[in-house]
Structure 1
Amino acid sequence: MNITSFLIYCIIVTFTPGPTNIVILSTVHHLGTKKALEYTYGATIAFGILLVISAMLNTLLITIIPKILIVIQIIGSFYMFYLAYQIYKADTSKPTVNQSGTFKSGFLMQFLNPKVLLFTMTVIPSFIMPHYTAMPAVTISVFTITLIGFLAFITWVLFGSIFKKFLQNHSKIVNILMALFLAYSGIMIWL
């Protein structure tokens, strides 16, 4: 497994702006750190649950239909290219939407967030399953990915105002770099 591509993919997808991170940023600014942390805990638990569901479904599918892995890898690669394009063309000048900042809203947001749903359903079969199918390895991978997601959420909580200013001041450069790294990860699935 190409650990570098795996980590780049996980870090870029979890740390770059998306619905959850934008709501966290908005919650920090409008309701404070305590509410943002509450929201973050809910989002993290749901993120982990989605990864567990993905690992279970993908383990079942790879056992029953081994050829499905190549299809999921293709979907995962195209999803990475799509995200790279979305990051490249992102407009950070639009205002964020305020949410209630509760554990429940953070939890439910993950199940409605297309970025999270597609990520959790593609990261396991694209990076883990081709190399590791044993339950301990998959479990460690799920825990690692969940931890990366939690660190991303906490980063948005703790440095929300700094990130917001930085992104506004250097948004094009940041978007181009993140898009290039994400495209690199999509290519590395095949090498």
Structure 2
Amino acid sequence: MNFVFFLLYCSLMIITPGPTNIMILTTVHNYGVKKAFEFSIGALFAFFVLLSISVIFNSILMNYLPNIIVVLQIIGAIYMLYLAYQIFKINNTSKKENQFSSFKTGFLMQFVNPKPVLFTLTVFPSFILPYYTSFGYLTLFVLLITIIACLAFLSWILFGKVLKSFLDRYNKLVNNIMAIFLIICAIAISGIFN
């Protein structure tokens, strides 16, 4: 196994902008680091669960992958549009605690977001299972990938914190841009243009 390429693949797939990372940035901007951390912990825990499920059921799920992808695309697109609407309607004077920046939302979002689902389904058969099959090694890889995800989510929180004054100054514009990014993600994952 080319370990450098594996690490590069994991890092780039997890840290690149996607619905989860956009939600982390939006949550830092609108509700602060504490809520973003809570959301990220939920997303990270779900990511760990997805990785674990992928290791255990990879061969079974691969047989049904086309059906799972279609369902996830539809559910994921609808959920992303809902989150975009929630972000779009936030205004600067009424920033109150919102349920969409919670542990539960971070957790559930990972299961309807095709990016982490497809990543967890492909990383093991592509990089790990051809070389390592023992429970110990597979557990180590689950933990390693989870650590990479943790670092990626923390970097998005830090990015949001560092740019907070800028984001506050252009609050409505930033929220609208984040909502548009989520709408673009929804369209991309819906499969409309495939």
Q: Same fold (TM over 0.5)?
A: yes
TM category (shorter chain) comes to 0.5 to 0.7
Partner of 2:181: none
State the shift of 1:43 in Å. Answer: 0.1
Shift of 1:159: 1.9
Q: TM-score, normalised by structure 1?
A: 0.64
Question: Are the equivalent residues in 2 in contact too, given 1:23–1:96 (CA < 8 A)?
Answer: no
Residues 20, 109 of structure 1: 8 Å contact kept: yes
Shift of 1:96: 9.8
* 2:35 maps to 1:35: yes
- How far did residue 162 of structure 1 move? 5.0
Q: Distance in 2 between matches of 1:111 and 1:156?
A: 20
**Runs of 4+ more than 3 Å apart:** 161-165
Amino acid across the alignment from 1:103: F
State the match for 2:134 in structure 1.
Answer: 134
> Aligned-pair distance for 1:161?
5.3
Task: Report the CA distance between 1:145 and its aligned residue.
Answer: 0.4
Give the 3 Å change call, closer, same or farther, for CA 30–129 of structure 1 in structure 2: same
- Specify the code of the residue in structure 2 equivalent to 1:26: T
- Tell me the percent identity: 51
User: Equivalents in 2 of 1:112, 1:155: separation in Å?
Assistant: 23
Distance 1:156 1:129 in 2: 30
What residue ranges of structure 1 are gaps of 5+ in the alignment?
A: 62-67, 73-94, 166-191
Partner of 2:110: 110
Unaligned runs of 5+ in 2: 66-83, 88-97, 167-194
Distance 1:113 1:19, change over 3 A: same
Q: TM-score, normalised by structure 2?
A: 0.64
